[in-house]
Amino acid sequence: MTKISYRSTTVDGIKIAYREAGTQGAPKLLLLHGFPTSGHMFRDLIPLLADRYHIIAPDLPGFGQSDDSRVNSFDSIAETIDRFTEIVGFDRYAVYVFDYGAPTGFRLAVKHPERITAIISQNGNAYVDGLSDAWNPVQAYWQDGSVENRNVLKAFLGPETTIWQYTHGVTDTSAVSPDGYSLDNFYLSRPGAEDVQLDLMRDYKSNVALYPDFQNYFRTHKPRFLAVWGKNDPFFLPPGAEAFARDIPDAVIKFFDTGHFALETHADEIAATIRDFLG
């Protein structure tokens, strides 16, 4: 059985919880989760890769068991995770990015291209091509930050919406464990969580504004790149995955017949693809 250690450290006064597995000295792999989950989303993937890689999966600030103090922007999240990688000794690493983890990881890559050995994007977007109409209410809030538009977005935080995110586009919903979305709903129900998440939805426009910078990084540095994409994702469309090949011609792009949380149904297939890709 794979040994997974559950640890925490303090980064500039912010507690960051993380999972760690694998062997010190093995190639490093940083796993960055998305909304509204935590490092728990990698519970099935980690044991499938830990024999070959030294893996760390932090809970982003404002998520999971990490502190939510001073979390109101993706810049602040990236700054904290940047310092976190230095504290845990991740000087050179491959990064797996999903959803909110993508603008976090891409910021790290732009800032420290020499540290990135490869990028794996699971429904982690960097192109306008990938944004679906499901983003319309969020984009309305970017244009007009009224109380009314903010309140509309509270629907994204409801328990039913979380379950929908996990099950939409999945061919067999009985394959989706209720543990994942139940834990996410617990975290979303904590005092203060609603404002943290609404603030981040408002700030997501900063990620879109950085798309040209991310794309310039891809064109300039051409990192080893793998996209493993749930093709039925209601938020990030397949053209968003295909767009990476415009800037990284050697990018490997794989689609899976599932939804947003592809690891819930296709962890074995995605792990095998990663092992082949990273070698």
Mean pLDDT of 142-153: 97
Share of the chain above pLDDT 70, in %: 100
Mean pLDDT of 212-238: 98
Query: Which residues partner with 159 through β-bridges?
Result: none
Cα–Cα distances in angstroms (integers) from residue 139 to residues 35, 37, 129, 132, 181, in the given order: 17, 22, 15, 11, 25
Domains and CATH numbers, the chain: 4-278 (3.40.50.1820)
Catalytically annotated residues: 260
Mean pLDDT of 242-269: 98
Share of the chain above pLDDT 90, in %: 97
Coil, strand or helix: which one is 69?
Answer: coil
- Helices (DSSP H) in the chain: which residue ranges? 46-49, 74-87, 101-111, 136-143, 147-152, 159-167, 178-188, 193-209, 211-221, 238-242, 244-247, 263-278
Torsion sign over Cα 244, 90, 13, 157? positive
Distance CA(256)–CA(245), nearest Å, equals 18
Mean pLDDT of 144-169: 97
Taking only the tens place, the pLDDT of each residue in 187-203 is 999 999 999 999 999 99
Give the DSSP H or E segment for 71.
Answer: none
Among 87, 92, 97, residue whose Cα is nearest residue 25: 92
Cβ count near 256 (within 10 Å): 19
| Residue 49 one-letter amino acid | L
What is the token pair recorded at 112?
């420290």
Q: What is the chain's length? A: 279
Q: Flag whether pLDDT at 263 surpasses 80.
A: yes
Cβ count near 153 (within 10 Å): 17
Taking only the tens place, the pLDDT of each residue in 75-112 is 999 999 999 999 999 999 999 999 999 999 999 999 99
Buried b (16+ CB within 10 A) or exposed e, 200-224: bbbbbeebbebbeebbebbeeeebb
